[in-house]
Amino acid sequence: MSNDDDKGDDNPLDKTSVVTSETLKMRLDEAETSPPAVVLLMGPARYVGRQWLLNMTEMVVGRAYESHIFVEDRSISKRHGKFFTKDGNVFYEDLNSTNGTEVNGRKVAAQEPIALRNNDQLKCGNVIFKFLDQGNLETFTHKNTYDRTQLDPLTQIYNKGALLATGEEIVRKGLQGNFSVVVIVFDLDNFKMVNDTYGHQAGDYVLREMASLIQNQLIRSEDFFARFGGEEFCLILSGSPLQRGVEVAERIRSTIADYEFKYNDTDLPVTVSMGVAVLEPGMADWKDLFEKADKAAYLSKQGGKNRVSTI
């Protein structure tokens, strides 16, 4: 609660955050080690602001599902161009794209590599990227800013907005490329009772601890893990068959059931009910796949909770 003296004080200087010199040095040191990157400035709304680190020798940008920098826009060719590193410099090469590439407003010839400089803008079809050279502070600050829009502040895993965007993209890739996508939906059993009995801080502790346990110990770094509701979570496994999804879900379920969630010297009862579904040819989009996994999770609830179900 604010003091009376604070009311009506609109001086913006009073709201300026102060960063210690030690923190600033740490941020600058981290920025200096950041690899080159490209940021999407203009294009489909769901991609605007996304950043890709150019941390591989060669990275293809295009509309094909296997592209390293995948942007679903009809103005971009399936293999539009590629970024590659040579002798410490980053180059871009147009791969005979239909709509061509411009760098800083000048069209580049196909298959003729052009060296990139910091803040160069590349127009691939109707999509515009900005190149950030190695050690650019903007790469670091942009990542932090973008992450804040993508991460759940309590658990520090992805949020609902990131889940919807990523889920839609992965399912489109799966349908286009004919590869498997598994979705696991789950939520905590009797979570309202935990909040009502032990307090909301205890509930927050459970959510943070469980998310950290799963993220750091039970899934792969390439798996996509998100919180999309109060006690509701979703995990996307790309390129995995249904059986692996069931095995991952069971590992998560059993680990959580056996884990000691202790808050203020009190053991808290925590279990989860899980549903697993795999992308099928008849499915039209992300919504179809998610709803099937959600229905399977409901079966786990109806069947006695603390279990894994499929449909």
pLDDT digits (tens, 9 = 90+) for 35-49: 899 999 999 888 888
Give dist(CA 76, CA 42) in Å, integer: 13
Which residues are marked as active site?
231
Closest CA to 133 of 25, 54, 43: 54
Query: Tens digits of per-residue pLDDT, 83-115?
Result: 999 998 999 999 999 999 999 999 999 999 999
Give dist(CA 3, CA 235) in Å, integer: 44
Give mean pLDDT, residues 253-259.
Answer: 98
Predicted TM-score (pTM) of this structure: 0.67
Query: Are 275 and 294 spatial neighbours (Cβ–Cβ below 8 Å)?
Result: yes
Report the amino acid identity of residue 294: D
User: Which range among 67-76, 132-141, 247-256 has the greatest average pLDDT?
Assistant: 247-256
pLDDT at 140: 53
Closest CA to 272 of 186, 192, 172: 186
pLDDT at 13: 39
| CA-CA-CA-CA torsion sign (217, 220, 222, 228) | negative
Q: What is the three-state SS of 82-140?
A: EEEEECCEEEEEECCCCCCEEECCEECCCCCCEECCCCCEEEECCEEEEEECCCCHHHH
> What's the angle, vertex CA 118, arms to CA 116 and CA 120, rounded to 5?
60
